Structure 1
Amino acid sequence: MTNEQQSSSPSEPERTGTAEPRLTSGQLWYRFLFFDWLFRDVNAARDLFERHAARQHNQRMSRYLPVYLRRWSVLTVFDFGLGLLFERVIQATLLSAWFFTWSCVTFTGMVVITVAWLFLASARMP
């Protein structure tokens, strides 16, 4: 029996297009850095039950926010380190200002993630 005959045997289920679509590299990077895709919009709920389900879902998903906080802290340290490198070693003030600015932006992202995590982790359901 050849390989072609083995793969087309009637006892094996045929694989149709049931696989999940693959994400592009841009989508993967977005999901790696930003966490909004994990959460549901509570205000878009049509009734009280959907609102309650969305809030419970968001509270469950808040367990992943420390992972994003760690990623953003690495970005902050990396940007700040590059700012120091360009300022002290290479004497490139424009590039150092660029990286120091991005370290401030990523630090602000860390603050947002921390506040969202504390808010969702400590929220009580009514």
Structure 2
Amino acid sequence: MQDPAFRTLLYRYFFFTWLFKDVSHGNLIERAAAWRHNREHAHWLLTYMRRWLWCGLVFYVLGGFFELILNSPGMSAFFYIPGALSLPVNAVIGAVWIGLKALPGPF
């Protein structure tokens, strides 16, 4: 068995779409099975939220370091932007988690 490439591992570390199945294709039984599969894997979304939270915090701290300590506002923007982008990613992950765990399924 061949190990996946580093970029594949990096993608899987930060993005969760590879874990879930498409619910919009197939007949009613296949869509219901895909929905159950997605609900069973929803607990992994909290792990992805933690990863994005920590990455956002690290980038924010690095941005503050470059801005306040090294007095380099241009370089600090290089770190503040990914730190700020982690917030909407966490909002999307949270909405997906609520949709899979708290709401009743369509089937």
Scaled by the length of structure 2, what TM-score is found? 0.93
Name the counterpart of 1:39: 20
Name the counterpart of 2:53: 73
Higher-Rg member (1/2): 1
Name the counterpart of 1:110: 90
Amino acid at match of 2:10: W
Structure 2 unaligned spans of 5+: none
Query: Displacement of 1:98 after TM fit?
Result: 1.8
CA RMSD in angstroms comes to: 1.0
Query: Displacement of 1:80 after TM fit?
Result: 0.5
Name the counterpart of 2:34: 54
1:28 and 2:9 aligned: yes
Scaled by the length of structure 1, what TM-score is found? 0.80
SS at match of 2:41: helix
Structure 1 unaligned spans of 5+: 1-19
SS at match of 2:88: helix
Percent identity over the alignment is 31
Distance in 2 (alpha carbons) for counterparts of 1:95 and 1:107: 20
Larger RCO of the pair (alpha carbons < 8 Å, separation 6+): 2
Moved runs in structure 1, 4+ residues, more than 6 A? none
